[in-house]
Amino acid sequence: MVRLVYFAWVREQIGVAEEDVDLPASLITVADLAQWIAPRGSGYATAFADLAKLRCALDQVVVPFSTAIGEAKEIAFFPPVTGG
């Protein structure tokens, strides 16, 4: 079981802040996970339509979408951070 955590507009689109899911063994990378999540509903489809507009973290470490999920316990999705 993996905890998926959503922040900012990702959470607003999906309608939940986090959820626990059993991932299929066929999912290798975070990009695979994003493709698996997208068809779960219209909010998911909108949130994951363009991965260039998202960042992700495995167990609170920011990683590229090409990173293997491995034994991660938590995977977070959030928009890029901007400052000013």
Q: pLDDT tens digits for 24-34?
A: 999 999 999 99
In the numeric block, the tokens 């363009």 are attached to 50
Structure tokens at 64: 């590229």
76, 18 Cβ separation under 8 angstroms: no
83 — pLDDT class (breaks 50, 70, 90): low
Alpha helices in the chain, H assignment, sequence order: 8-14, 30-37, 42-47
Residues paired with 18 in a beta bridge: 5
Averaged pLDDT for residues 32-58: 96
81 — pLDDT class (breaks 50, 70, 90): confident
Output the pLDDT for position 84. 54
Q: What's the sign of the alpha-carbon dihedral 23, 29, 30, 36?
A: negative
Averaged pLDDT for residues 22-46: 97
Output the pLDDT for position 59. 98
